[in-house]
Amino acid sequence: MPPHGMPQPGYGVPPGYPPQRAYGPPQMYPGPVYPAPGYRYVPPAPPPPVRFSVGTHRVHWATAPLRAFTIMIVYFVLLGFPLLMTRTSDGAAVSFSPVVLLRFLIVSLVVGAGAVAAGLWGWLGLRFRIEGDDLVVENGLLRRRVRRIPLSRIQAIDVVRPLVTRVFSLAEVRVELAGGEQSEIPFRYLGRRAAGDLRAELLARAAGLPGHTPEAPERPVYRVPFGTLLGGLVLRLPVIATFLLMIFSLVFLIAFRELAMLAVALPALLGLIRAVIAPMVMYANFTVAVSPDGVRLRYGLLETRMQTVPPGRVQAVSVVEPSIWRGPGWARLDVTVAGYAGERQALSSTLLPAAPRAVVAQLVALVFPGTNFDAVPLLPASQRGMTVDRADGAGTDDVIFVARHGWLCRRTDIIAHARAQSVRLTVNPVQRLLGLATVHVDAPPGLVQVAAADRDLGEARAIVESTALRARSARAASGDTAHWAARQNQAR
């Protein structure tokens, strides 16, 4: 136990941060007494945070009207608007004759009542509470479905605010669990403050701290400037090639009045929108911060997201350096988190969309503490290699395994030994002729798959054995990742 006043690493209230607040009724203001007898002024205190660990909770009541409203919009587009149309001699036109209006009103009222009922039903049906180490989610009014989720299985918590709900200051909390189907628990929607409280509470509980621990303070690491993001998205060979193709086809289209060139120009334009505009909107205002309860990301122009990845949940990362980016020294950081499956994996697998390489290296060091992947000596792959995606080199230290490959776009894949699931050695027919092999260090499904290709066969087997050995000692040292804060406190 260090003497008091010493800065303590890890979780807990750090020096300089206000101590934990005691919860109770709002304090009466003792100041100047107002003239009216018996009247005491109560200053407008911020509402006390919702304590989710006590009692059963529901999502925000505004969810019900919001859902009803959504149903009504869908109804109007699909059925309501056609109801307003009447057939005329040359097609259909919108007309407001009494008969049509009456018909429309009756149908709308019925659907509206149904929509309100559905909204209420959904709102009343979803209840959740925290019981000990479990998050309990109850669904349904008549047929009740209860899910009990151990908090230690939480892989990440996202707070998402789609554009529509931002107007009403609502937010969605998504709890990501490891493994398989329905591994995501969405809470649609909570009040903005309540969402933050729930997130903090779940993370604190998962870390093994009492539920009313205040939100862990965070330290900003990097904010991606607009220029870097735009430049990074544009300065990629495929993007530039597509752009040139589009310009070329447009010139051809105008010069020779050849409309068929639209078949080239339009897909190229769509591709550009997908590759540049969409990520631009999605990753705008990208901010990375670290706090004891994990890495926090905030981003989004229309739909804002806040992701928290608790420590030890990042399985593998990949530093991606497209050819042109090496000029200004930029890199992208992709990541595999066990919680995100399928589509969400692709959506939330970027830890930094574009940043100077030094920042990326710093973030990797935060994700895998005590490492510097640039300092890991890489053994060059065999010269005889025939792999298209040119293998560059691979190396390892006590904590991480690093493999670099790529011809134009260079990727450096990094996995922590403690996170490796299995080690594989594969030899395909071409490699067998050349006496080479590939060593895979398997991570859970995701963008990042670590493999050292084109090693000499004997060396490859030696790498397999040494990696297995290191993984064993790393696992023994790191132990289970649940209740990380509580164990850190015990260790102290």
Partner 1 sequence: MVYPVAEQQAGAAGYPAAEAFEPGAGLVWSRISSRYPWHRRIAALVRAIPVAAVGAFLLWRGGGTLAALLWVVGVLAVLVVSWVAVEIAYRSYGYAERGDDLIVTSGVFVRRLIVVPYGRMQFVDVTAGLLERWMGLSTVRLHTAAAATDAVIPGLPAAEAALLRDRLARKGEERSMGL
Q: Which chain residues interact with partner 1 by CB under 8 A?
A: 152-153, 155, 178-179, 313, 315, 338, 375-377, 379, 395-398, 419-429, 432, 435, 437, 440, 442-445, 449, 456-466, 468, 471-472, 475, 479-482
Nearer to partner 1 among residue 332 and residue 419 (C-beta): 419
CA distance 119 to 380: 61
- Given a contact cutoff of 8 angstroms between Cβ atoms, the answer to whether 309 and 293 are in contact is no
Q: Kindly state the smallest distance separating residue 487's Cβ from partner 1, in Å.
A: 12
Q: Kindly state the smallest distance separating residue 364's Cβ from partner 1, in Å.
A: 15
Q: Kindly state the smallest distance separating residue 177's Cβ from partner 1, in Å.
A: 10
b or e along 271-306 (b: 16 or more beta carbons within 10 Å of the residue's beta carbon)? Answer: bbeebbeebbebbbebebbbbbbbbbbbbbeebbbb
Q: Kindly state the smallest distance separating residue 381's Cβ from partner 1, in Å.
A: 13
Q: Kindly state the smallest distance separating residue 158's Cβ from partner 1, in Å.
A: 18
Nearer to partner 1 among residue 137 and residue 178 (C-beta): 178
Query: What angle is formed at CA 266 by the lines to CA 261 and CA 270, rounded to 5 degrees?
Result: 155
Which tokens in the block code for residue 110?
A: 């019925």
Q: Kindly state the smallest distance separating residue 180's Cβ from partner 1, in Å.
A: 10
Q: How many CA atoms lie within 13 A of 1 on its CB side?
A: 3
Q: How many CB atoms lie within 10 A of CB 469?
A: 11
CA distance 194 to 57: 11
CA distance 17 to 205: 20
Q: Kindly state the smallest distance separating residue 459's Cβ from partner 1, in Å.
A: 4
Q: Kindly state the smallest distance separating residue 199's Cβ from partner 1, in Å.
A: 20
Dihedral angle computed from the Cα positions of residues 137, 138, 139 and 144, in that order, rounded to the nearest 10 degrees: 150
CA distance 377 to 319: 16
Closest among 282, 291, 284 to 224, alpha carbons compared: 284
Q: Kindly state the smallest distance separating residue 145's Cβ from partner 1, in Å.
A: 24
Tell me the residue length of the chain. 492
Nearer to partner 1 among residue 325 and residue 368 (C-beta): 368
Nearer to partner 1 among residue 30 and residue 429 (C-beta): 429
Nearer to partner 1 among residue 180 and residue 327 (C-beta): 180
Q: Report the amino acid identity of residue 177.
A: L
Nearer to partner 1 among residue 130 and residue 437 (C-beta): 437
- Given a contact cutoff of 8 angstroms between Cβ atoms, the answer to whether 175 and 52 are in contact is no
Q: Kindly state the smallest distance separating residue 396's Cβ from partner 1, in Å.
A: 7
CA distance 459 to 425: 11
Nearer to partner 1 among residue 100 and residue 365 (C-beta): 365
CA distance 328 to 231: 10
- Given a contact cutoff of 8 angstroms between Cβ atoms, the answer to whether 250 and 258 are in contact is no
- Given a contact cutoff of 8 angstroms between Cβ atoms, the answer to whether 316 and 443 are in contact is yes
Which tokens in the block code for residue 88?
A: 């005329």
Q: Kindly state the smallest distance separating residue 421's Cβ from partner 1, in Å.
A: 4
Residue spans of beta strands (DSSP E) within 250-344? 287-291, 294-299, 304-309, 314-321, 330-337
- Given a contact cutoff of 8 angstroms between Cβ atoms, the answer to whether 442 and 419 are in contact is no
Nearer to partner 1 among residue 210 and residue 458 (C-beta): 458
Nearer to partner 1 among residue 178 and residue 386 (C-beta): 178
Q: Kindly state the smallest distance separating residue 136's Cβ from partner 1, in Å.
A: 21
Nearer to partner 1 among residue 86 and residue 422 (C-beta): 422
Q: How far is CA 177 from CA 161, 296, 377, 417, in A?
A: 20, 17, 35, 22
Query: What angle is formed at CA 421 by the lines to CA 465 and CA 400, rounded to 5 degrees?
Result: 65
Nearer to partner 1 among residue 275 and residue 427 (C-beta): 427
Nearer to partner 1 among residue 155 and residue 249 (C-beta): 155
92, burial (CB in 10 Å: exposed 0-12, middle 13-18, buried 19+): exposed
Q: How many CA atoms lie within 13 A of 294 on its CB side?
A: 30
Nearer to partner 1 among residue 95 and residue 421 (C-beta): 421
Q: Kindly state the smallest distance separating residue 399's Cβ from partner 1, in Å.
A: 9
Q: How many CB atoms lie within 10 A of CB 249?
A: 21
